[in-house]
Structure 1
């Protein structure tokens, strides 16, 4: 992961969220506030513009700037959760480039940030159900000596599997938890946007 790839990832997330914003909002309308897609689209559009104007000296600067922008532009819980995760990535990656293992540890720091703020664990039907397996998959590939692109692809696959696995779960955190058993049968929008973010990473790394 270098500065160019970091910037390209943020741009790719913005494109992916823009393409899927109506779908994310549709998912959120079933068990949330019906604004997830709109909020993320606004936040990442602002983040992409911010990092395009940036002259960073480290990978971390790209992600810290992204996180700060997300926190300031996304309403509801998504801004602090995603923004905090990117800021944690930024804090952990204060170098011009990072090897896969270092990036895996940074992803884990992002996961810690989300869990500290949202207090969710796997199985609660939240973004954690996609993020946690993605981190584990990336870290496992990195430990085995895989390249960045291969580790990112494994992470994206794991995130998508975790995303799909939220459908039969009953929500135990967030707005969806108020629905109780009625939340069963709906794919979690936060897990879905998380899967989009990891797929954007994999696609960007494959093109690098």
Structure 2
């Protein structure tokens, strides 16, 4: 019988492509471009947080740029280690939020755009000439803007904004957790984990919950 061909040596996975500045550079030389991203659309509690970041034309130092990625792809400890370096090397950055009450009043989509708009207008120094916005929708910020699907894995500016927003929101949820320890917000950041849902049914709705979200609305209807 013919001998079975030896299997090929497994190849190591290709290195993950890190976000770069090609989208920023596409606006042309000398343009001041900010990246904007948000964190916290899905949780049942807490604000939605957005950040805007303007990087220098050459970007971050190589040793830092090599670590930058979509915040969801980074371990919490690594995000917290990178965040001060982003602040130190960015030309400008700002963080803003829309509260749980604003989310309930406007809906999460409009509140997210509001947080992005607030972050953009909170940037120090000269206003950016253009903005790269993560996702499909654009806030009304008054400058040239481009929506970039999966922008936090493509644009270094957006990825940096993602990291700043995530670290800021996690810190806020840790602070809120101190006053409401039953819900595990220091661990789940307000997302609908089994722990959070179980605590909601036992301890009820807090002022920091989003009552327009179905699990919270159901519990609110039960307890009043």
Q: Provide the TM-score with structure 1 as the length reference.
A: 0.31
Give the number of the structure with larger relative contact order, counting CA–CA contacts within 8 Å between residues 6 or more apart: 2
Specify which structure has the higher proportion of helix. 1
Give the alignment's TM-score, normalised by structure 2: 0.30
